[in-house]
């Protein structure tokens, strides 16, 4: 593509659909290439901007619905800022413009910025204080918010055994599975010291993910699976058990998988499945990722690869991950190369298929484009998760 920002696109493009829908093409290590937006893409861009304002509590659903009814020619220019809702006396009261004053026509100092809306369930979150030893949530609880530690530390532990899994400190996020529909807590959390957490309701984020036409949802689900995998492998590096898989029974048809998920959503009963198994089933039910089959002995990646084009989810079969003398046997539910590729890092291990292996492929360029346009909260979750995965991989 040779089109430059603020210039008319060529009249005979070889990829008109791409030009019409996408604003930026992101290639790792290269600057974004700008496109002149078509009217259709202009509407999508503006609706997305207003949807982000809704998710952040700075606009209402009524604002978004109004934008969706406008003609394209009635939309503000791309340089304009989306309409933001100002806090009203009653939450349901519509936002109304103030009547112009007689002095409006006279030169005057710039009007003061409108006060920021107070924190609400749709906004940035609410700061909560927990005293040392207080349980924040229990394993198996419905996940309806995620949290970022502002002060102190939080211990993640296994409620069944009482064993400590991790101690998280200031700046770390946890409970990310809350952004997934039907998500449940895979472990318990308690205040390791007196702690202040920013708790963010994830209902608006879930709504955005659910309506996303791209691959944001499977990317987030795969990231959380990769985090769980990294957590478990980091705790087994000194043992003889160097195998990992979410499930060893993965012969369900897509219809059977969807039926199980529908029952989980309808009843709230996760049928004894761990959060890992539930996320893996959601990925299996997704129709947004393509699968490929590789013969035994296929080299899937190595630390020498300078740029990763795909992340992988193992659907069936096993892959050997070798780091020096250590060899890990990774099975269904393992996620390979996703966090590394999103952060433009190299693989920590060499990957070779041990038998015939079926993989779901995550195209990294497409994932990066989706994240570039995503809600800031979702981008932050992915970034936090990827950073934590890389930190854990340093212990392998």
Give the domain-ending residue among 203, 233, 260. Answer: 203
pLDDT score at 145: 85
Percent helix, percent strand, percent coil in the chain, to nearest 5: 30, 20, 45
Residue 158 and residue 232 in one domain = no
3-state secondary structure of 134: coil
Whether residue 379 lies inside any domain: the answer is: yes
* Separation between Cα atoms, residue 379 and residue 130, nearest integer Å: 27
Whether residue 116 lies inside any domain: the answer is: no
Query: Where do we find the tokens 């393992």?
Result: 334
User: 375 and 205 in contact (C-beta within 8 Å)?
Assistant: yes
Beta strand ranges found along the chain (DSSP E): 24-25, 33-34, 126-130, 135-137, 145-151, 154-157, 164-168, 173-174, 188-191, 195-201, 243-244, 290-294, 299-301, 310-316, 319-323, 326-330, 335-336, 350-353, 357-363
Residue 381 and residue 261 in one domain = yes
Whether residue 95 lies inside any domain: the answer is: no
Residue 298 and residue 376 in one domain = yes
pLDDT score at 181: 63
Closest CA to 330 of 226, 253, 216, 215: 226
Closest CA to 138 of 187, 184, 200: 187
Q: ∠ at Cα 203 (198, 206), nearest 5°?
A: 110
Length of the chain: 396
Residue 249 and residue 328 in one domain = yes
Query: Where do we find the tokens 């924190």?
Result: 119
Residue 183 and residue 225 in one domain = no
Whether residue 27 lies inside any domain: the answer is: no
Q: Secondary structure of 247-307 in the HEC alphabet?
A: CCCCCCCHHHHHHHHHHHHHHCCCCCCCHHHHHHHHHHHCCCCEEEEECCCCEEECCCCCC
pLDDT score at 174: 80
Residue 365 and residue 248 in one domain = yes
Whether residue 84 lies inside any domain: the answer is: no
Domain of residue 191, residue span: 126-203
Residue 229 and residue 337 in one domain = yes
Give the domain-ending residue among 145, 180, 203. Answer: 203
Angstrom distances, CA of residue 185 to CA of 106, 123, 189, 259: 59, 23, 9, 22
Query: How many structural domains compose the chain?
Result: 2
pLDDT score at 263: 85
Whether residue 277 lies inside any domain: the answer is: yes
Residue 360 and residue 222 in one domain = yes
What is the rounded end-to-end Cα distance, in angstroms, of the chain?
42
Residue 244 and residue 347 in one domain = yes
Whether residue 36 lies inside any domain: the answer is: no
* Separation between Cα atoms, residue 321 and residue 237, nearest integer Å: 13
pLDDT score at 94: 39
Residue 182 and residue 143 in one domain = yes
Give the domain-ending residue among 203, 231, 263. Answer: 203
- What are 293's strand-pairing partners? 358
For residue 290, report the phi and psi dihedrals to the nearest 5 degrees: -90, 155
> pLDDT in tens for each of the 396 residues of the chain?
444 444 444 445 555 444 443 433 444 454 444 443 455 556 666 777 777 776 666 777 677 777 767 665 555 554 444 444 433 334 434 333 344 444 444 444 444 433 323 222 333 467 899 999 999 999 888 888 888 888 999 999 988 888 898 888 886 778 776 776 666 787 899 999 999 998 887 787 788 888 888 999 899 889 988 988 888 888 776 776 688 999 876 677 778 888 888 888 777 777 777 778 888 998 998 889 999 999 999 999 999 998 889 999 999 999 999 988 889 999 999 999 999 999 999 999 999 999 999 999 999 999 999 998 887 778 877 887 888 899 888 887
Tokens representing 331 are 């099975």
CATH code of the domain in which 286 resides: 2.60.120.10
* Separation between Cα atoms, residue 353 and residue 277, nearest integer Å: 22
Whether residue 361 lies inside any domain: the answer is: yes
Residue 247 and residue 381 in one domain = yes
Angstrom distances, CA of residue 336 to CA of 64, 170, 241: 38, 28, 19
Tokens representing 251 are 């012969």
Residue 199 and residue 306 in one domain = no
């Amino acid at each position: 593509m040779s089109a430059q920002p603020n210039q008319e696109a060529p009249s005979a493009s070889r990829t008109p659909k791409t030009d019409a829908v996408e604003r930026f093409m992101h290639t790792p290590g290269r600057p974004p290439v700008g496109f002149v937006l078509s009217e259709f893409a202009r509407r999508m861009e503006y609706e997305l901007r207003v949807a982000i304002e809704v998710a952040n509590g700075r606009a209402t659903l009524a604002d978004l619905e109004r934008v969706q009814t406008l003609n394209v020619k009635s939309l503000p220019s791309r340089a304009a800022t989306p309409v933001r809702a100002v806090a009203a006396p009653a939450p349901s009261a519509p936002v109304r413009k103030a009547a112009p004053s007689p002095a409006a026509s006279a030169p005057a100092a710039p009007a003061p910025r409108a006060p920021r809306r107070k924190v609400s369930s749709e906004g940035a979150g609410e700061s909560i204080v927990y005293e040392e030893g207080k349980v924040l949530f229990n394993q198996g609880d419905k996940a309806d918010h995620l949290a970022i530690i502002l002060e102190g530390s939080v211990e993640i532990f296994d409620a069944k055994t009482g064993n400590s899994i991790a101690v998280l400190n200031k700046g770390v996020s946890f409970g990310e599975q809350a952004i997934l529909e039907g998500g449940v807590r895979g472990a318990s959390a308690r205040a390791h010291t007196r702690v202040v957490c920013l708790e963010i309701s994830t209902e608006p984020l879930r709504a955005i993910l659910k309506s996303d036409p791209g691959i944001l949802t499977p990317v987030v689900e795969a990231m959380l699976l990769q985090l769980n995998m990294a957590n478990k492998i980091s705790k087994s590096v000194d043992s003889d058990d160097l195998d990992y898989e979410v499930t060893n029974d993965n012969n369900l048809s897509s219809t059977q998988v969807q039926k199980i998920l529908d029952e989980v959503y309808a009843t709230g009963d996760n049928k004894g499945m761990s959060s890992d198994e539930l996320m893996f089933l959601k990925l299996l039910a997704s129709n947004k990722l393509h699968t490929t089959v590789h013969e035994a002995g296929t080299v899937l990646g190595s630390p020498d690869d300078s740029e990763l084009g795909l992340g992988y989810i193992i659907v069936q079969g096993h892959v050997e991950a070798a780091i020096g003398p250590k060899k890990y046997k990774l099975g269904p539910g393992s996620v390979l190369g996703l966090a590394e590729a999103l952060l433009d890092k190299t693989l920590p291990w060499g990957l070779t298929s041990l038998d015939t292996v079926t993989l779901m492929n995550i195209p990294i360029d497409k994932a990066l484009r989706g994240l570039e346009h995503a809600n800031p909260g979702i981008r932050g979750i992915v970034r936090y998760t990827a950073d934590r995965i890389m930190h854990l991989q340093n212990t392998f």
